[in-house]
Amino acid sequence: MPSHVDGERLEQRIVEAAAVLPGYGGVTGWAALAWWGGVWFTGHPWSRPGPVAPVVLATPSHAVRSQPGCGFIVSEERLNPADLTVHNELPITTPVRSLAFEMRYAPTDWLAVVALDMAAYDDLVSLDEAGDWAAAHNGWTGIPRMRLALTLADENSWSPPETLMRMHWRRLVDGVRLRCNAAVLDPDGRLIGTPDLIDPATGVVGEYDGAVHLEGEQRLRDVDRAARFRAHGLEPVTRMAGDLRRPAAFADRLLTAYRLAAEIPLRRRRWTLDPGPGWIDTSTVAARRALSEPERERLLRYRAA
């Protein structure tokens, strides 16, 4: 769970909201995904500071009414019994149904993409599972937004800011096909780095720098990694937390990076995204679910960080 979130307090909020549920219903949306283990689902806004979202209770019963001031609201949408379960003693909707609610009622298309990316991050829901749910619920509120997000999502984004950077990048560079958190290797198979984003066609790599990147050892590691990228013919560009308020600044840096990348001669482009034989893929939900427990501890240790 992100370090700024008090896990016990979050769980208490969810439990207190669930206590008012009638006999048929369950927690859904972001709070359900948090209960299922989604570390990025905290109720805090992803794109800018704002109030914590209320817990959403799914129940067709009229016995409970929304009380935003008490920390919960009620959704009276249809609720199939197959979408309800009990997890860790809490009545709750399944991960895919919980995600579908979050995506369908997301304030923007981009935030619907963030929701799907972050559910995939913890392997709660795959793109195929979300797509199947959307196909089976044609006509529900927000399904067009959910379908659009499915075409933009990626199962290997590691944080909401990375996803938002990818969305902004795609808007600025028409037709770009970005890779998320792909291992970049030198010609001898040694790891150069794993950037948040890379455009394989040009060698432009993108990194998001939040507050944790601004000082200390992390800042030194960031500077060293950028130097390694440039030494191998890659051109790094950084998106800062403050760029959410001034998107033109990132746009200028990105377009400059493309101009510089175009000037790098082929002889200096000493990098590859082809890991060769023996590499264990972790870029999809299916691949991560198939890992053994020792493999998960070794290959997914970035989640603990």
Question: Which residue from 303, 292, 287, 223 is spatially nearest to 2, judged by alpha carbons?
Answer: 303
Q: At 266, which helix (H) or strand (E)?
A: none
Name the burial class of residue 37, with classes exposed (0-12), middle (13-18) and buried (19+) by CB atoms within 10 angstroms of its CB.
Answer: middle
User: Across the chain, what does the average pLDDT equal?
Assistant: 92
Higher pLDDT, 63 or 292: 292
Select 162-268's CATH number: 3.40.50.10210, 3.40.50.720, 1.10.287.70, 3.40.960.10: 3.40.960.10
- pLDDT digit string, tens, across residues 239-271: 998 888 888 999 999 999 999 999 999 999 999
What pLDDT is attached to residue 88?
96
Q: Is the pLDDT of residue 12 over 60?
A: yes
Q: Is the pLDDT of residue 103 over 90?
A: yes
Say whether 66 sits in a helix, a strand or coil: coil
pLDDT tops 80 at residue 305: no
Q: Which residues contact 67 (CB under 8 A, 6 or more apart)?
A: 73
Residue 5 has pLDDT above 70, yes or no: no
Query: Which residues of the chain does CATH 3.40.960.10 include?
Result: 162-268
Phi then psi dihedrals of residue 41, to 5 deg: -95, 95
Q: Which CA distances in Å does 128 have to 6, 231, 292?
A: 32, 39, 22
Model-level pTM?
0.93
39: Cβ–Cβ under 8 A, 6 or more apart, which residues?
Answer: 1, 2, 121, 122, 303
Q: Is residue 63 pLDDT above 80, yes or no?
A: no
Name residue 10's amino acid.
L
Return d(Cα 22, Cα 156) in angstroms, integer. 38
Tell me the pLDDT tens digit for each residue of 86-95.
999 999 999 9
User: pLDDT band at 214, cuts 50/70/90?
Assistant: low
**What pLDDT is stored for residue 287 in this prediction?**
98
Lowest-pLDDT choice from 5-9, 26-30, 44-48, 103-107: 5-9
d(CA 60, CA 24) in angstroms, rounded, equals 8
Residue 22: alpha-carbon gap to chain centroid? 33
pLDDT at 176 over 50: yes
Between 1 and 85, the more confident residue is 85
Per-residue confidence band for 6, with pLDDT thresholds at 50, 70 and 90: low
Answer whether residue 153 shows pLDDT above 70: yes
In tens, the pLDDT along 226-235 reads 999 999 999 9
Distance of CA 39 to the CA centre of its chain: 10
